[in-house]
Amino acid sequence: MNITLPDGSQREYLEPKSLFEIAEDISLSLKKSSVAAKVNGKVLDMDRVIKADSEVAFITENDPEALDVLRHSTAHLMAETIKKLYPHAKFGVGPVIEEGFYYDIDLGTDILVENDLKTIEKEMKKIASQNSKIERGILSYEEALDFFHDDPYKIELIKDLPKDEEISIYKQSHFTDLCRGPHLPGTKWIKHFKLLSLAGAYWRGDSNNKQLTRVYGTVFFTKEELDEHLNNLEERKKRDHRKLGKQLDLFMLSEYGPGFPFWLPNGMILRRELENFWYDVHLKEGYKLIQTPIMLNKELWEVSGHWYNYRENMYISEIDEQEYAIKPMNCPGGMLVYKRDIHSYKDFPLKVGELGLVHRHEASGALNGLFRVRNFTQDDAHIFMTEDMIVNEVKELIRLYEYMYSVFGLEYNIELSTRPAEKFIGEIATWDKAEKALADALESIGKEYKVNPGDGAFYGPKLDFKLRDSMKRIWQCGTIQLDMNLPERFDLTYIDSNGEKQRPVMLHRALYGSIERFIGILIEHYGGAFPAWMAPLQVLVIPVNNDYHLEFSKKLVIDLQEKGIRVDLDDRDEKLGYKIREAQTKKVPYQLVVGDKEVESNEVTYRRYGEQAQTSVKVSEFLDLIVKEIKDKK
């Protein structure tokens, strides 16, 4: 067999070889440093035996795939430790998540508290230092049922698997678990970890099942990476948007409307700036703007498929003895707007945008400030086109997304989410075609992406934009969804160049995703210290002494207002230091202190938020400076 390496070189073997053996054949140091290997695109354990021609890339701790392997193995180490400390414990699932891992555990009558995590950590370090091998085994369906006969959670998972499927288990020292892998060669790699928190979690997410104890943790290959992450976690607590939202008078929540945020005057300014930015950009991009009703008849939602696929999340009412639903999505209303007119291929691409208020019934326990609410504004748009326009229009959308996210200093990665396993509408062949079109668009502009199997919308595949904020958190915001199904269900047509009726292809797309959630993300991303263009108050003028400096300060306020600057005057009879500290607390981008020197020379002395340096310039220079900064959205 031939083994092809990333540099194109090949190794020939006359008999099957384990990945360990292949790595050792290349170099002993590679064998020692490899935590796993990617074989024909799939990450496997180092003890897996290769029997046929394959492309092999060895994974060391510097490769991005290595971290998931480390975290998966650390979750098993934590489970082994808990089993040692609590012998009656039984384990649900223990997956890798975005920044770490967790395990769901049935502790019987035992109860874990936060202080117990330190004890578990200490024991984990002891077990890890023994460098136990992590070994993969294979069982048949019947053997797996027998092996886990006294574990109801594993039995339930096994019974969900096909009876003819080989079932893998992983064993280390005194712990064995049902698992697909892959894992580290041994526990010696697991050194820099931290158990973070506890939570309750219903088995398989069903509130009718038993509530298990979920233990969260994280791990990195180096102490420096772990320390940086833990510092970020502390910073996130300080930047909690619910705390800052109250401190900065942006929004409020009330027990009279759980999940329905109230916007305060400062928050409305912030919100309107984001909306205006969205409107300005989209008008320049050729979008037509509409607004559709909040409540529409049940029959519309039956046509769209929402009534059968999404009803549990919809608010239902009755009008004139007919059932209506408050819209959970803007799309069906957009379909009706399209059907109002006869369209030609010459109209395409037809871009129709809407900032539409939608309502979704979220579980009360899932509500979380602005991050998870029951009513929110989606920045939706629907782009109607011919099939041969798909690749180019997706490319144009990615360009637009890249520009808008760059304004906020947000980096992103793209995931291609494919057809769900069960709840979907349309033919599989249509889905395959749509998924290929999205992949082709990304590949044509050299954009890297990750495939997220089964996570598409019920009506089509999508590109999900995963944003990374200043604290390295990942947020799902933007999406581009290719839909060849709703145009069919709504009987949408256009007239082609031959005068024949044809079915258009449609893109659903949202950039902010939800304005409410996006604002919550920005509050924490900036720590409440917004750039001047979006800050509710952009400039605060502070006279040193009202008897001598107030008149000049008032004129300065008028000059700023005439330039469209949001400015306030702090002429209270308080000490200067107190006023400056309060302006810092409110995170005002610019503080202008007016004293004798400023009055005499017609200058301002300004200090930016978060900086100690003070700069004196002519009034006209400052006006030019801030106007340009706001215009350029710096």
Instruction: Provide the strand spans (E) within 474-622.
Output: 474-483, 494-495, 501-502, 505-510, 539-543, 567-569, 590-594, 603-608, 615-618
Beta bridge partners of 322: 319
pLDDT at 364: 85
Whole-number pLDDT of residue 344: 96
Q: Is 395 a catalytic residue?
A: no
**For strand 100-106 and strand 590-594, is the pairing parallel, antiparallel, or unpaired?**
unpaired
Q: How far apart are CA 612 and CA 574, in angstroms?
A: 21
Residue whose C-alpha is closest to residue 173's, from 131, 137, 138: 131
- Say which CATH class 65-224 falls into: alpha beta
State yes or no: is 380 an active-site residue: yes
Q: Which of 90, 183, 214, 378 is catalytic?
A: 378
Residue 267 has pLDDT above 90, yes or no: yes
179 is known as an active-site residue: no
- In the residue annotation, 462 being an active-site residue is answered as yes
**Omega before 349 within 30 of 0, i.e. cis:** yes
Give all strands of the β-sheet with 167-172 in edge-to-edge order: 134-139, 167-172, 175-178
Catalytic residue chosen out of the listed positions 104, 331, 483, 566: 331
Mean pLDDT over 496-525 rounds to: 95
Q: Is the pLDDT of residue 482 over 90?
A: no
According to the model, what pLDDT value does residue 365 have? Answer: 81
Q: Can you name the CATH fold of 245-290+328-358+368-526? A: BirA Bifunctional Protein; domain 2 (3.30.930)
Asked if residue 303 lies in contact with residue 332, where contact means CB atoms within 8 angstroms, the answer is: yes
The domain 539-632 is placed in CATH, from the list 3.40.50.10470, 3.60.15.10, 3.40.50.720, 3.40.50.800, at 3.40.50.800
Beta strand pairing status for 603-608 and 590-594?
antiparallel
pLDDT at 596 over 90: yes
Categorize the per-residue pLDDT at 563 as very low, low, confident or very high, splitting at 50, 70 and 90.
very high
pLDDT at 380: 93
In 364-512 the beta strands, taken as DSSP E runs, fall at 375-385, 411-417, 450-452, 462-468, 474-483, 494-495, 501-502, 505-510
Query: Quick one: pLDDT at residue 310?
Result: 86
- Span 63-80, mean pLDDT? 95
Catalytic residue among 229, 508, 549, 586: 508
Compute, in degrees rounded to 10, the torsion defined by CA atoms 173, 202, 101, 469: 180
Answer CATH for 2-60 from 3.30.470.20, 3.40.190.80, 3.50.40.10, 3.10.20.30: 3.10.20.30
Which of these is catalytic: 17, 360, 419, 566? 360
* Percent of the chain at pLDDT exceeding 70: 100
| Annotated catalytic residue, options 380, 464, 469, 483 | 380
pLDDT in tens, 127-166: 999 989 999 999 999 999 999 999 999 999 999 988 888 8
Reply yes or no on whether 282 is catalytic: no
Q: Where are the domains of the chain?
A: 2-60, 65-224, 245-290+328-358+368-526, 539-632
pLDDT exceeds 90 at position 544: yes
Q: What is the mean pLDDT of residues 337-354?
A: 96
Q: Catalytic residue at 360?
A: yes
Catalytic residue among 154, 359, 462, 525: 462
Over the chain, what is the mean pLDDT? 93
pLDDT at 425 over 80: no
Q: Is residue 423's pLDDT more than 80?
A: no
Neighbouring residues of 275: CB distance < 8 A, sequence distance ≥ 6: 355, 515
pLDDT for the residue 499: 95
pTM of the entire predicted model: 0.82
Concerning whether 130 is annotated as a catalytic residue, the answer is no
Average pLDDT over residues 181-201: 94
Flag whether pLDDT at 207 surpasses 90.
no
pLDDT digits (tens, 9 = 90+) for 307-327: 988 889 999 999 999 999 999
Q: Taking CA 65 as the corner, what is the angle to CA 62 and CA 71, rounded to the nearest 5 degrees?
A: 95
